[in-house]
A = this chain, B = another copy of it.
C-alpha cells in the first residue's frame, strides 16, 4: 500500500464512500492465506504470471500437497524446489500436468505461459557433479520467464575449455557461476566479463571442501570485482536474483 493508495483510502473514508470498518479491514488485511501451518503469500503473482514458490525441504508431503492445492485453486503457476521423487509421485496423480526435473529436484506446473526475455542468463558450471544445482537454477530462471544458456564442465583446471565458450558467456546480461571444490571459476569468469556475476558454491567435493565452505569462502574473497554470492547449493536463489537483474 503506497502513499497514493493510502491517501485515496482516507479520502473515501472522509467522503463516506468506505466505512470505517471496511477501511480498518483493508488496512489490516494483507494478501495471504492462512492454512494453519503455512501462510501463502500471493504478492509475487500480482506481477505477470510469476510462479508461486514452495520450498519443500522440511515439509511433510501432506503439507506440500495442501499448499499446492491452494495454489492450483487460484490458477497460478507453481515452482516447487527441493522436491523429492516421493513427493512428485504423490502429486502427479492429482495434477497430471505437473512436471518433474529429477536432477533439479524441481516440480513445475504452468497455468499460463509467461513471456520470455530477449536477454539471457548464462549458467556456467565447473564440473559435471555440479549439474543438480545448475538444473535448479535453470528451472527457476525459466519459470520466471528468462532465456537461459548453459555452459557446463569448464572448470579452471583446463582453462582452454572455458575460453572455447567465452562468447556465449560474454553475450549474457547476467552470469551465474556454479562451482564446488575450490570454486575458482567465479573469479576467473568475473575477470573476463563486465556483467554481474552471481556465484553459487556447491557442496561438491570431499575432505577440506567441508560441504561447500571452501568454495563459499573462495567466492566471497574473490579478487575479481562484480561477484556476489548466494548460499551453498542455492541454485534457486541465484536464479531468482539473476532474473531480477535480467529484467532491470
Contact = CB atoms under 8 A, between A and B. Distances in A.
Interface of A: 2-3, 6-7, 10-11, 13-14, 16, 20, 23-24, 27-32, 36-39, 41, 43, 47, 53, 55, 57-59, 63, 126-131, 152-161, 163-164, 167, 173-174, 181-184, 187-188, 190-192, 194-196, 198, 201, 203-234, 236-238, 240-241, 244-245, 248
A156 B185 CA distance: 9
A207 B203 contact: yes
Given A30-B160, A218-B184, A129 B223 contact: no
Nearest to A43: B158
B156 A194 contact: no
Contacts of A213: 208, 217
12 contacts: A14-B14, A38-B153, A159-B192, A181-B221, A182-B219, A183-B218, A184-B222, A207-B212, A207-B216, A207-B221, A220-B230, A225-B240
Contacts of A184: 156, 182-184, 187-188, 218, 222-223
Given A194-B244, A196-B241, 11 more contacts: A2-B167, A11-B20, A37-B128, A182-B222, A196-B244, A213-B217, A220-B230, A225-B237, A227-B237, A228-B230, A245-B248
**How many copies of this kind of chain does the complex include?**
8
Contact of A6 (B27, B39, B192, B248): B27
A30 B190 CA distance: 18
Contact of A128 (B58, B157, B159, B187): B58
Contact of A156 (B32, B53, B188, B216): B188
A234 B181 CA distance: 13
Contacts of A16: 14
A134 to B, nearest CB: 9
A30 to B, nearest CB: 4
Contacts of A128: 37-38, 58-59, 63
A187 B159 CA distance: 10
A186 to B, nearest CB: 8
Contacts of A228: 198, 228-230, 237-238, 241
Nearest to A154: B39
A70 B154 CA distance: 18
